[in-house]
Structure 1
Amino acid sequence: MTKRRLIVSTGNIHKVEEIKEILKDLPIDVLSKKELGLEKINIEENGKTLEENAILKATALARKVEGMVIADDTGLFVEYLNGEPGIHSARYSGVDTTDEKNNIKLLNRLKGVSLENRKAFFKTVIALVDEKGNIVTVAGECRGYIGFESRGEEGFGYDPLFVAEGYDKTFAELGEGVKNKISHRAKALEKLKEEIIKILEDD
């Protein structure tokens, strides 16, 4: 019996590795766009919510490949900044930005803001499109706060600034092993795992 394919609509190699690790015990082949030679497919994320963007990305790729497709959209929402950077997290400081520039902008926006007012949460929404075109979305959240400086070498994005509830280290200091158990994406992927198991059982 050939394994079902799950194609991940992202160019972010860190995300692909994280997803492969969390779904490794399912009887599916997890493939990235790059592995299929489709990395040049870029979808304009013009949705107004994480859900809309995830569905846009997943359905656009699903039209071009055979197999199940997933796409995620993730945002960091800082309460003091009325939810900034939110759905604009990846491009917070401009179109051709870097993680470092985004982090610097966020720290500048929170200059002089006390710890109790630095509450934030990460939210990931994953859209799954199966071979029949059915769409399912799942979400995961991780609450915490934004630190006063960049700390740690691991992870990506806002990981050097974000400290999860119950921890005193940033995601970038905790390392992938711990982060992959408690993160917003990990929680969404656990729910996704259940949805994929349902699809496999139904067939």
Structure 2
Amino acid sequence: MLEQKRVVLATRNQGKVKEFDRLLAPLGWEVVSVSAYPDAPEVIEDGDTFAANAIKKAQTISQILGLPAIADDSGLEVDALDGRPGVYSARYAGEHATDEENWQKLLRELEKVPNEKRTARFRCTLAFVQPGQPPLLAEGKCEGVILREPAGTNGFGYDPVFFLPQRLCTMAQLPPEEKNRISHRAMALHNLLEKIREV
């Protein structure tokens, strides 16, 4: 288990920080965003896989701060678009695009795709690094369908257009507690905690 209770999340995305905080709270860990360390660098996500980006972020932050770090890289894979936006999910409509600009671009690209071919999944890869240790990796995914119009105000990213057939609602219509049970990030974190316990 962790020698220190403080773990740094290698993200400045406040939506992710809140989600991780809720997911890790039962363990009594103090989750701190990398934003709390003004000298920490912005790690460029230039890997071509979620794993490569997550490892790079966690290793860089852990090394610089001398603390355990968790980094995730996650995104949306749409079957009709050959897995796009994938690692480019956060900047699909451009480098500083808003969540809405990203999902609007996605809906435009899927305009002529019939409903039965709009299958997609959220995928998350987590990397956990303690100083001087090799990274631990874990994955999670959540299957769904891309709607033609957004619905719901919870969540962030592509949540308003990601429909969960088994729940009959979008990810953005779920209460946070429910999302934290079924999301790709929750699945990945569950798998990661199992690995941390084994170590």
TM-score range (shorter-chain normalised) is over 0.9
- In the other structure, the counterpart of 1:12 is 13
Equivalent-residue separation in structure 2 for 1:37 and 1:26 (angstroms): 27
- Structure 1 unaligned spans of 5+: none
- In the other structure, the counterpart of 1:50 is 50
1:119 aligns with 2:127: no
- In the other structure, the counterpart of 1:168 is 168
- In the other structure, the counterpart of 1:23 is 24
- In the other structure, the counterpart of 2:195 is 195
> Partner of 2:122: helix, strand, or coil?
strand
Residue 3 (structure 1) shift: 4.4
CA contact (8 A) 1:10 1:71 kept: yes
Count of residue pairs brought into register by the alignment: 197
TM-score (norm 1): 0.92
> Partner of 2:64: helix, strand, or coil?
coil
More helix per residue: 1 or 2? 2
CA contact (8 A) 1:125 1:137 kept: yes
CA offsets, 1:155-174, max 9 Å, x none?
10000000124121111111
- Structure 2 unaligned spans of 5+: none
Residue 79 (structure 1) shift: 0.3
CA contact (8 A) 1:122 1:141 kept: yes
Equivalent-residue separation in structure 1 for 2:132 and 2:26 (angstroms): 24
Where in structure 1 do 4 or more consecutive aligned residues deviate above 6 Å?
Answer: none
Q: State the identity as a percent.
A: 39
> Partner of 2:59: helix, strand, or coil?
helix
> Partner of 2:121: helix, strand, or coil?
strand
CA offsets, 1:98-151, max 9 Å, x none?
101001100000102211100000100001101332211100000010011011
TM-score (norm 2): 0.93
Q: CA RMSD in A?
A: 1.5
1:87 aligns with 2:82: no
- In the other structure, the counterpart of 1:183 is 183
